[in-house]
Structure 1
């Protein structure tokens, strides 16, 4: 979850920029993978933190959906929370802005027009993130928890799996960082891997992961039974796919688990687990990890299909050249 809409664009841009400076044949494939590497540190850090804490029991207080009757009530709810989100986003963007200003003062690399564009970009980013995070925080999180709880208590409990998969399939479209990754992949590979193909692949992967998360929340099966075989499969696949797909696959896992996942899918699983009397900490948490896992496998399967298609085209080309050679030899005789 640390690789979200603020960090992903800069991390990917840094990787692409370094690859452009290198300019060798492996530069394009090496430009991806930084997002995945940036996820390793937080995982280890939280596990080390867990070595120093042993809580006997965990409690969770469900966020209540605000009762609104008029548009004025809706505006009031958002107005109250907007300053808090604005402060958080400003604190996140401020170090990036300071680094940019210091870099420009020292190097004077950009023109006045480029500096204006940078300033406008920061303003757009600030306003967009404040509105986006405020919307998902106030609206999606409480609704997700209540939706999960109500469905879990109904006689149609099994419908949580297909409903969760449909939500996961379409929630990819709303993740801002995913669209950035898809466009960067298409640009770096000269549309050999199109943004549409990447998007469809990620949608299938996230849909599968949310279905598995719903099964976990309802049955209490340990996440180890999914995570360990899943990463083994991903590592095995990495031995057979083109190199460029490996970095893209591991990046896509970190990118897919963004703010939409944490503010809707996680509360959805929490609501299901709480309604069924399960252990929230072991049955609900982990949905983000599953969302980060399945795109690895989905993108690498796409890489296998790409390699098969490439070899078939190469074989057809060779066969065509062989036929032309035979015809020329016969004509010369």
Structure 2
């Protein structure tokens, strides 16, 4: 089968449940305007095509670049090269991430410009750059992942005591948003490239996971520091919900296309120039493999543009409308049920999930099956979205009431599960909160927050991505515990 046809088939199976849920709701309890439904269907078509092209491009473009650069950084045997490379690549791969742009724009919109998108983009990218460098040095110097993560999350807990509830939600959401369709394949390949240069095979297998987890913690700390430095507190916000959209079906798509094309182009250029420079001075690939990598990057560009245009113009508005309308009903069970089901199926449409699950199966030589990881992720994300909606509905229920016990469980599990599952689980937390979550489900939850009396869009609407990022850490580590007990039984 043609690789592109294979990807199309794979993506179609994943995105179809979301399309089905929206259409069922439209013809039953949440009727939508015809223009909205047609825009959604057009957006869904673009999502399927864009995601398939992107995944193909990732396989032949972004993943090899990350691998080559990872091996090159390690081969130098100089700590200063590792540090500079980590800071440079971390900053530019983060500022390139489409999910972060979506979240930054959403924060800017909801706060009425009080927190500009550029402030979020730059501060988060600096945090990612610093922590990605720490993550690379961890692999190089063979520091156990669980020790680093324990220290990092203890420091985050201390910072959270000085952070306002609004910024607490935004900081953990920023962590999830930075690990999306572009950063995850790159970081996984980079860590795989670095760890493959180590002589101890077993160590390198464990070390090929965990870089995403450490890097994404930089986003949390960066936003917390931003709040502590600026002292911005007691913010309120509103989400504009357009119940009767005007204009043609094509209008939002034509509006989004040039903006997204420019964003993705600017985002990819530093990474491509870095790779071309490294290839010219050191790697010296032959014309055919070099052309294949560059063709892959072109596919990534085309795929991401098509995908994000579809998501922004067709998905986001439908998400907020459904959340707004369901929350306005007398029977709250509909909102809770749809929240759980959306979380359950949306994770399957995340592009980075495929990259991570394939790598897990490859690294473990098929011992950890891809389907088992997908089931664990789906249940975790379903529960995360459900708990986020319950938080909006119950006055006085704060985000930290979930995150504090959740991360205590996650950190505690690190000390009893097989070490390889720790990196997988924390990486999966970042992977789960990708483009579909940052757009469709974020819009759904914020639409519900806008509709429910007494709820605030900033305090209650944000924090859902944080929940989506946390739950897979617990569920995948529990999966690791099951595998550990199963292997002990087999040994007997």
**TM score, norm. by length of structure 1:** 0.90
In 1, the alpha carbon distance for the partners of 2:291 and 2:373 equals 33
Task: Give 1:1-333 correspondences, 5 Å limit.
Answer: 1-24=177-200, 25-51=202-228, 52-64=230-242, 67=245, 73-220=248-395, 221-277=397-453, 278-315=455-492
> 1:18 Cα deviation (Å)?
1.4
Distance 1:79 1:30, change over 3 A: same
8 Å CA contact 2:256, 2:312 repeated in 1: no
Paired residues of 1:148 and 1:269 also in contact (CA < 8 A) = yes
SS at the partner of 2:365? coil
2-structure distance, mates of 1:75, 1:28: 48
Superposed CA deviations along residues 36-82 of structure 1, whole A, max 9, x for unmatched, are 1111111111011112142543222425367478xxx3334312220
Q: State the match for 1:330 in structure 2.
A: none
CA distance in 2, matches of 1:273, 1:65: 16
Task: For structure 2, list consecutive stretches of 5 or more residues without a partner in the other structure.
Answer: 1-176
The structure with more radius of gyration: 1
1:63/1:141 contact within 8 Å kept: no
Distance 1:68 1:84 in 2: 21
Task: State the number of aligned residues.
Answer: 312
SS at match of 2:236: coil
- Write the distance in 2 (CA, Å) between the matches of 1:46 and 1:226: 19
Alpha-carbon distance between aligned partners in 1 of 2:463 and 2:254, rounded to the nearest angstrom: 32
Cα deviation digits, residues 187-225 of structure 1 (max 9, x gap)? 111111121111111111101101101101111410111
CA contact (8 A) 1:65 1:143 kept: no
Query: For residues 38 and 63 of structure 1, do their structure 2 counterparts lie closer, same or farther at Cα, with a shift above 3 Å needed?
Result: farther
Residue equivalent to 2:149: none
CA contact (8 A) 1:214 1:269 kept: yes
Q: Distance in 2 between matches of 1:59 and 1:187?
A: 45
Instruction: Determine if contact 1:172/1:178 at 8 Å carries over to the other structure.
Output: yes
Task: Answer whether contact 1:65 1:142 (CA < 8 A) is retained.
Answer: no
Unaligned runs of 5+ in 1: 316-333
Give CA-to-partner distance per residue, 1:124-153, whole Å, 9 cap, x none: 000110011111111221111111111111
Distance in 1 between the 2:301 and 2:380 partners? 30
